[in-house]
Amino acid sequence: DIQMTQSPSSLSASVGDRVTITCRASQGIRNDLGWYQQKPGKAPKRLIYGASNLEGGVPSRFSGSGSGTEFTLTINCLQSEDFATYYCLHHNSYPWSFGQGTKVEIK
Amino acid sequence: QVELVESGGGVVQPGRSLRLSCAASGFSFDKFGMHWVRQAPGKGLEWVAVIRYDGTEKYYADSVKGRFAISRDNFKNTLFLEMDTLRGEDTAIYYCARHGIGIGVPGASVLLDFWGQGTVVTVSS
């Protein structure tokens, strides 16, 4: 089974900052990865698919990159509505698995 | 519009069983694979299981294999999760979610696109 290791588990940032979150796969998964945002009490929302493709309606300050085993989610110019928890999810083969999550908090 | 509504959660004793349901509407349910994802209190997301659009293939996380069974009724547009031999660590919010691409239905990615609001399962004596 493929394991996803996500880091950091949490970070503190200010509005306007640039934030980077990383996911590492235990084996190569091509670009079979996406990123989700979850706010308290809500279901997750898909932000990025295919490692780097932005979901329709998602602000362009979000971007994803990577392939194989190393993936990155970057949020440029962090906005107040971006404070949330972010998860990567691989879909290369079953069982799928999420990263452990990164909570982005206000500094 | 796509809507997924989970039900069936509650408080159950360890070792007992529970059946969750997910009622789907707003799309051709019989064309999409469906998933269950759970989230323990204060913890991250855990992928649980998937069933193919026609029910012929099913896959499970190791943590639930042999105890949980996913099924569907395409006539009633409903997804199920039968949970047996429940443990404390099964306590979580259980979400159903739609596979991002359906049979004959174009989509950007297989990644889960629509989610329900979840149903809470508490395993406790």
What digits encode the pLDDT tens for the residues A81-104?
999 999 999 999 999 999 999 999
What digits encode the pLDDT tens for the residues B7-66?
999 999 999 999 999 999 999 999 999 999 999 999 999 999 999 999 999 999 999 999
Q: What percent of chain A has pLDDT over 70?
A: 100
Average pLDDT over residues B92-115: 92
Q: For residue B93, is pLDDT > 90?
A: yes
A-chain residues near B35 (CB < 8 A): 96
Residue of B nearest to A54 (CA): B108
Interchain contact, A1 vs B50, CB within 8 Å:
no
Reference A58, options A35, A42, A33, A87; nearest CA is A35
Distance CA(A3)–CA(A1), nearest Å, equals 6
B-chain residues near A95 (CB < 8 A): 47, 59-62
Of B50, B109, B115, the CB nearest to A50: B109
Interchain contact, B111 vs A99, CB within 8 Å:
no
Residue of B nearest to A49 (CA): B109
Upper half-sphere CA count for residue A68 (Cβ side, 13 Å): 1
Q: Residues of B at the A interface (Cβ-Cβ below 8 Å)?
A: 35, 44-47, 50, 59-62, 95, 97, 100, 108-113, 115-118
